Amino acid sequence: MKFCNQCGASVEQRVPEGDNRPRHVCTACGTIHYSNPRIIAGCLPVYDNRVLLCRRAIEPRLGYWTLPAGFMENGESTEDAARRETLEEACTEVNIQSLYTLTSIVHVNQVQLIYLADMPTPDYGPSEESLEVRLFEEHEIPWDALAFETIRQVLRLYFEDRKQQQFPLRHVEINNNAFNTARVHD
Amino acid sequence: MKFCNQCGASVEQRVPEGDNRPRHVCTACGTIHYSNPRIIAGCLPVYDNRVLLCRRAIEPRLGYWTLPAGFMENGESTEDAARRETLEEACTEVNIQSLYTLTSIVHVNQVQLIYLADMPTPDYGPSEESLEVRLFEEHEIPWDALAFETIRQVLRLYFEDRKQQQFPLRHVEINNNAFNTARVHD
């Protein structure tokens, strides 16, 4: 950030009065420009014991498989966002069951919320955002062609928890490239 | 938003190619400026069956009572944020137990996460952000002097759930001033 989006003057990095960390502050009008983590909301859609994955039609990770998920927009709830992303990316309408994972992706300032969701019917398909959409049995999951480490973690936890048929909320924390230090707790 | 924070030129509202909603787009360099919901993280700290509340030293709602909570910062997890806000506002260190409420405050583009937390010791106190910090029995809660409707909902749910000593994650949705239509489910 170089310029104030309110008045167009240049901004500087400094700690505003009453604050304890540097912000972008306008040198002319004094507006403080905060930057905060963004929410990614999505679903783990299930039909007949199979999981729905999408093969990405857009960068990053074009051609790799992922769960339907994307940035939450203003003016919607987290569940609205998860359902909307699932409809946009997989062309399927789901019934949300419960929040399953909350992943803090610390190094990129994102919080990912994945909801467990039932598919009432096996209707789904590709979209502008997905080259291909498919239901996978556990043994068919393309582990080596998944788009994101966060999605790998969600799927790994899901198949573990499915043995007990219990899906408590899982907190995951991923910081920097230390994916193997991801911390998981109930 | 009137100006591009990258190049200082003016921005216009339009739907970028491949998108489906209007964004602020720079008329010179083409940068798309997204606006997304922000996360408020905080705790419901409990010591000896009493709940810790803070009386706000800052606007909005100066002088009213609330749970310690505030905007999540870049570079931290949701639990880091909840602990930090509790330390900053109530000068107490807590042990987080579980995520208790996820409230989509749709009309102001915020998602509030409140964690249940134990206080190992009854050490707490006022801060730059809180005029007063106090432990409350249920019958002492200042219901008429709470700062935010979202906090009232969290406290109401907590005392209900405490009868069963079970604290499942609660989703709450508040849209516009229709507080009474808040939707709550497990």
* DSSP state string for B100-151: EEEEEEGGGTEEEEEEEEE-SS------SSEEEEEEE-GGG--GGGBS-HHH
Q: Is B26 in the same domain as B44? A: no
Q: Does A111 touch chain B (CB under 8 A)?
A: yes
Q: Is A72 in the same domain as A26? A: no
Nearest-Å Rg of the Cα atoms of chain B is 19
Contacts of B98 in chain A (CB under 8 A): 169, 186
Contacts of B104 in chain A (CB under 8 A): 76-80
Most A-contacting residue of B74, B129, B175 (CB-CB within 10 A), to test interface: B74
Q: Is A22 in the same domain as A72? A: no
How many Cβ atoms from other residues are within 10 Å of residue A177's Cβ?
9
Q: Is B53 in the same domain as B125? A: yes
One digit per residue, the tens of pLDDT, for chain B of length 186 reads 999 999 999 999 999 998 889 999 999 999 999 999 999 999 999 999 999 999 999 999 999 999 999 999 999 999 999 999 999 999 999 999 999 999 999 999 999 999 999 999 999 999 999 999 999 999 999 999 999 999 999 999 999 999 999 999 999 999 876 654 445 555
Q: Does B38 touch chain A (CB under 8 A)?
A: yes
Contacts of B96 in chain A (CB under 8 A): none
Q: Does B78 touch chain A (CB under 8 A)?
A: yes
Position B56 scores a pLDDT of 98
The rounded mean pLDDT for chain A is 94
Q: Is B19 in the same domain as B70? A: no
Nearest Cβ partner for B104 among A34, A78, A98: A78
Q: What is the pLDDT of residues A102-130, one digit of tens each?
A: 999 999 999 999 999 999 999 999 999 99
Q: Is A162 in the same domain as A98? A: yes
Give the distance from residue B51's alpha carbon to the nearest chain A alpha carbon, in angstroms.
23
Q: With bands split at pLDDT 50, 70 and 90, how would you rate the model's confidence at A176?
A: confident
Q: What is the tally of structural domains in chain B? A: 2
Q: What is the CATH number of the domain that holds B149?
A: 3.90.79.10
Strands B130-136 and B170-174, by their bridges, are unpaired
Q: Does B62 touch chain A (CB under 8 A)?
A: no
Q: Is A158 in the same domain as A72? A: yes
Give the distance from residue A145's alpha carbon to the nearest chain B alpha carbon, in angstroms.
25
Position B176 scores a pLDDT of 78
Position B180 scores a pLDDT of 41
Q: What is the CATH number of the domain that holds B21?
A: 2.20.70.10
For the entire predicted model, the pTM comes to 0.94
Query: Which residue range forms the structural domain that includes residue A65?
Result: 38-183
Position B18 scores a pLDDT of 83
Q: What is the pLDDT of residues B103-132, one digit of tens each?
A: 999 999 999 999 999 999 999 999 999 999
Q: With bands split at pLDDT 50, 70 and 90, how would you rate the model's confidence at A181?
A: very low
Contacts of B173 in chain A (CB under 8 A): 77, 79
Position A180 scores a pLDDT of 41
Q: What is the pLDDT of residues A81-100, one digit of tens each?
A: 999 999 999 999 999 999 99
Q: Is B1 in the same domain as B43? A: no
Check A6 against B3: CB less than 8 A apart: yes
Q: Is B87 in the same domain as B70? A: yes
Contacts of A24 in chain B (CB under 8 A): 5
